[in-house]
Amino acid sequence: MEQIRVCTHDRPGAKPVIRTVPWPEVGKKAALIKVGACGVCGTDLHILKGHWPKPLPWPFTLGHELGGVIVECCPEFTEDFMSKPLKVGSKVMIPPLMPCSRCYYCIHYPQSANKCLTPVYCGRDPGFDKAPHMWGGWAEYVYVYVDLDGGGGRDGDEDGEVDHRAMARIGRVRSLFLLQCPQGNSGRVLPIML
């Protein structure tokens, strides 16, 4: 069975630790994405310097500005929130925060995910101790969980799987955006602004 490398940090100021985890069984509401590129954000640096005002699930894997290719996915991954098709082989990016779909701003201003009152942040939630241990982009692969019911909490749903609230409604996965490559650029992950 293939091993996947994941970079974690145990606390602010700690040196990075490269850990290996087994290839996960992709659940019925999940996808596995091979990371093509991941940025280092100022937020990551603040966290590593201990300048983050809220408790964090140490150790964990940073990296919330990433793009990659879907290598395995569940049948619910049919299209992104802009109705573009998703499937194995699709080049995607994961937005830094995933809206809850239940707060005032998600209901009344769904086009503005950054206003969500209770988002989950890729590369910050959950910690490394939650299987399959690949929640941030500073890894070879990232695991994305789709919550088809639009909620449930961070600790798990009735199936005992981690609820990453990546949020899909009627097959539209809001945690992934299909990257459209212009002619001549196929195979490259392109930077996009949201």
Residues 117-144: tens digit of each pLDDT? 888 777 777 889 888 888 899 999 998 8
Residues 6 or more apart whose CB falls under 8 angstroms from that of 12 comprise 47, 48, 49, 50, 52
pLDDT score of 111 more than 80: no
Q: CA 194 from chain center: how many Å?
A: 16
The predicted pLDDT at position 1 comes to 59
User: How does strand 91-94 pair with strand 66-73?
Assistant: antiparallel
Q: Model-level pTM?
A: 0.75
Cα separation of 73 and 30, whole Å?
Answer: 6
Residues in contact with 85: Cβ distance below 8 Å, sequence separation at least 6, in sequence order = 78, 79, 178
Specify the residue for token string 């195979």: 187
Q: Which residue has the higher pLDDT, 188 or 53?
A: 53
Q: How far out from the chain centre does Cα 60 lie?
A: 13
**Confidence tier at 178 by pLDDT (50, 70, 90):** low
pLDDT at site 20:
96
Centroid of chain to Cα 77: 14
Mean pLDDT score across all residues of the chain: 75
Record: fold of 3-178: Quinone Oxidoreductase; Chain A, domain 1 (3.90.180)
Tokens of 52: 């983050």
Domain boundaries, the chain: 3-178
Using alpha carbons, select from 26, 31, 24 the residue that is nearest to residue 6.
24
pLDDT at 108: 87
Query: CA–CA separation, 39 vs 87, rounded Å?
Result: 24
Q: When comparing pLDDT for 68 and 29, which is higher?
A: 68
pLDDT of residue 22: 96
